[in-house]
């Protein structure tokens, strides 16, 4: 008897605690399984048979998060489409008195018939497919794409289903105003539209029909959202050394946090998540002092940091810990500890944090003491700032920090008073040297 069944394959859970949703067709003890490309967390999702529709569908429990709940509609749309297609094929084979074996059904299912490809799917369905693909390609960075989808879903909640051709300039302008209205700052608004552009470009790149049946208005390419940032803030050489030399022996947790920060800066300033994974790897396999280098991959981008040499600062941190890399606390805990350390150092220097609107116009300037904003984000900015102060070639510094473009890298280099003084000294040295030659 021909049977269609759908289930979550809970024994194939990935690093995001998600498992694939499988549709299985079986007949006379033989089966064929279709990977729906949908992945869900079994803790929150379940797949059950709905008597009213006579189809399987996903449902969620009461503790399901908002962003997970927003996936239910698109996922069920895809799940329903596959089941209906299978049911249609089985019905047609029955009418022809043809074999209902899984091999025959699979052949019919995968036939290159005039593509009944949906080109007018709702944006939400397209985005669910986009997320499923991106989940396989990237790690932590997926949350950014999910956030954009969450904002877009909230924006369209009362507008009903939205098709691609409806993404006109007026519609996108309304979306921009919605993002501003919920309190997102200019760089974050810019990030949402950057993600939206990546998503729409992905759709166009997957339109393998030469007639370009998937129509997307070009307005998304022309909409201007300016991301203007304030000057980056990193520790100066003097502040970094003050931090490094501070006696924290009476505060072991603060001392460990300081050591982790110093080690992170010494190897180029990894993100907190990357430092955590690196620490786990070094605790498991140890650190080879003879090779004096480490390699790791960024969780957000997947970029490789190969053969990053550990300098004297990093070696001394490892020596203090007897070459057993200390446990990296949560980002929140580490930030609390860093602010406590900054207070002990009396870092009262005022930093000016400008805020701009989406057109690049200055809205306000906030004055905040350094001790109140010191966090793990300073690792990368401090590494880039000190590299610049030391005159390390930009390409070398970018290799250490992991930046691929100079534009991105430049947002991490704090050209502060110390750097300007250092530059002036170099000019004075050149003047003295040339004067001697003339004399």
- From residue 292, alpha-carbon distances to 272, 287, 313, 400, 404 in Å are 22, 8, 13, 15, 24
Residue 216 token pair = 């997307």
In this structure, are strands 45-50 and 30-40 parallel, antiparallel, or unpaired?
unpaired
The pLDDT of residue 208 is 53
Complete DSSP assignment for 41-70? -TTTEEEEEETTTTEEEEEE-TT--HHHHT
| Domains of the chain as residue ranges with CATH | 1-113 (no CATH), 118-227 (1.10.150.130), 237-413 (1.10.443.10)
| DSSP 3-state percent helix, strand, coil across the chain (nearest 5) | 50, 15, 35
Give the helix/strand (H/E) hosting 418: helix 417-438
**Cβ neighbours, 10 Å, residue 115:** 10
Residue-wise pLDDT for 300-332, tens only, equals: 666 777 778 889 999 998 888 888 888 999 999
CB 9 within 8 A of CB 19: yes
Q: Exposed, middle or buried by CB within 10 Å (0-12, 13-18, 19+), for 369? A: middle
Contacts 24+ apart (CB under 8 A), 209-214: 209/115, 209/117, 213/117, 213/119, 214/119, 214/164
Question: Per the confidence metrics, is the pTM higher than 0.75?
Answer: no
Q: What angle do CA 193, 378, 313 make, to 5 degrees?
A: 140
Number of H helices, E strands in the chain: 18, 9
pLDDT tens string, the chain, 439 residues long: the values are 788 999 998 888 877 788 899 999 998 889 999 988 888 888 888 999 887 778 899 988 877 777 777 778 888 888 888 998 898 888 888 888 889 999 999 988 887 544 344 556 788 888 888 888 777 666 556 788 889 999 998 888 877 778 888 888 888 889 989 998 998 888 888 889 888 988 888 887 765 554 456 677 777 777 777 777 778 899 999 999 999 999 999 999 999 999 999 999 999 999 998 899 888 888 887 777 667 778 777 776 667 777 788 899 999 988 888 888 889 999 999 999 999 999 999 999 999 888 888 777 888 889 999 999 999 999 999 999 999 999 999 999 998 888 888 888 888 998 888 888 888 988 888 888 888 776 5
User: DSSP character for 272?
Assistant: H
DSSP label at residue 71: T
Find the angle CA(53)-CA(54)-CA(58) to the nearest 5 degrees. Answer: 75
Q: What is the rounded CA–CA span in Å between residue 82 and residue 395?
A: 49
Positive or negative torsion for Cα 78, 81, 87, 93:
negative
Query: Is 33 in a helix, a strand, or coil?
Result: strand
Please state, in angstroms and rounded to a whole number, the distance separating the CA atoms of residues 108 and 90. Answer: 9
What whole-number distance in Å separates Cα of residue 302 and Cα of residue 274? 10
The DSSP code for 326 is P
Burial 155-191 (b: 16+ CB within 10 A, else e): bbeeeeebebeebeeebbeebbebbbeeebbbbebbb
Dihedral angle, C-alpha 10, 14, 17, 22, nearest 10 °: -40
Helical (H) or strand (E) element with 21: strand 19-27
């Amino acid at each position: 008897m021909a049977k269609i069944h759908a289930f979550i394959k809970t024994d194939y859970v990935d690093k995001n605690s998600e498992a694939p949703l499988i549709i299985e067709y079986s007949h006379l003890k033989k089966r064929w399984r279709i990977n729906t490309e949908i992945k869900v967390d079994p803790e929150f999702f379940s797949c059950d048979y709905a008597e009213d529709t006579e189809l399987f569908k996903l449902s969620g429990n009461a503790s399901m998060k908002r962003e997970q709940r927003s996936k239910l509609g698109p996922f069920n749309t895809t799940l329903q489409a596959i089941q209906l297609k299978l049911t249609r094929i089985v019905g047609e084979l029955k009418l022809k008195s043809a074999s209902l074996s899984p091999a025959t059904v699979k052949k019919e299912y995968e036939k290159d018939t005039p593509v009944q490809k949906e080109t007018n799917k709702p944006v939400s369905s397209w985005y669910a497919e986009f997320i499923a693909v991106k989940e396989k390609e990237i790690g932590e960075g997926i949350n950014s794409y999910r956030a954009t989808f969450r904002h877009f879903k909230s924006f369209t909640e009362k507008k009903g289903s939205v098709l691609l051709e409806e993404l006109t300039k007026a519609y996108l302008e309304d979306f921009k105003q919605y993002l501003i209205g919920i309190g997102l700052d200019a760089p974050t608004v810019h990030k949402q539209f950057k993600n939206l552009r990546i998503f729409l470009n992905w759709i166009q790149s997957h339109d393998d029909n030469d007639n370009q049946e998937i129509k997307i208005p070009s307005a998304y390419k022309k909409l201007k959202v300016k991301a203007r940032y304030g000057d980056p803030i990193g520790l100066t050489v003097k502040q970094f050394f003050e931090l490094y030399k501070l006696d924290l022996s009476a505060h072991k947790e603060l001392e460990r946090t300081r050591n982790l920060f110093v080690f992170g800066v010494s190897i180029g300033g990894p993100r907190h998540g990357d430092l955590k994974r690196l620490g786990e790897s070094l605790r498991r396999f140890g650190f080879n002092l003879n090779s004096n280098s480490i390699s790791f991959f960024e969780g957000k981008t997947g970029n490789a940091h190969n053969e990053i040499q550990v300098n004297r600062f990093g070696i001394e941190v490892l020596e203090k810990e007897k070459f057993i890399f200390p446990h990296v606390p949560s980002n929140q805990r580490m930030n609390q500890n860093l602010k406590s350390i900054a207070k002990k150092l009396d870092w009262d220097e005022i930093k000016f944090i400008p805020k701009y609107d989406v057109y690049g116009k200055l809205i306000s300037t906030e004055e905040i003491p350094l001790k109140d904003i010191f966090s793990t984000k300073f690792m990368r900015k401090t590494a880039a700032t000190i590299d610049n102060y030391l005159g390390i070639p930009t390409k070398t510094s970018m290799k250490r920090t992991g930046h691929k473009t100079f534009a991105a890298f430049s947002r991490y280099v704090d050209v502060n008073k110390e750097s300007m003084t250092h530059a002036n000294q170099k000019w004075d040295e050149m003047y003295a040297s040339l004067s001697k030659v003339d004399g």
